[in-house]
Amino acid sequence: MKSVNRRDFLKLSGSAVIGLTLGGVALRAQAQEQLSADDPTAKALNYTPSSTVEGAKCANCMYVQGADGEQYRPCNIFPNKLVNADGWCSAWVKKPG
């Protein structure tokens, strides 16, 4: 088995860290399209861009990602789509905390 010298190890480690960082940024950047109420998954989960359930909206759901205050944010339930922070769907679960 070939031993790895320190210089090669540092190059490989640095490349891996950069790759992981850029990969995460690229995945977040893919979620560009706003979710439409006509989307099949949205229909199946009764998604609405304006919640009618008191105290329950996408902004306080545990599945929503992104920064607080953004109107459209990525959601784990709807990959590569942005949901309205004021919206709601039947998969809604209150964010812990």
* Model confidence at 5: pLDDT above 60: yes
* Model confidence at 86: pLDDT above 70: yes
pLDDT (tens digit, 9 = 90+) per residue, 18-28?
665 655 555 55
Residue 53 confidence (pLDDT): 94
Verdict on whether the full-model pTM lies above 0.75? no
Strands (E), 1-97: 33-34, 72-74, 81-84
Do the Cβ atoms of 84 and 34 come closer than 8 Å? yes
Average pLDDT over residues 50-78: 95
Average pLDDT over residues 53-60: 95
d(CA 65, CA 1): 44
Average pLDDT over residues 75-93: 95
Residue 44 confidence (pLDDT): 96
36: amino acid identity, one letter: S
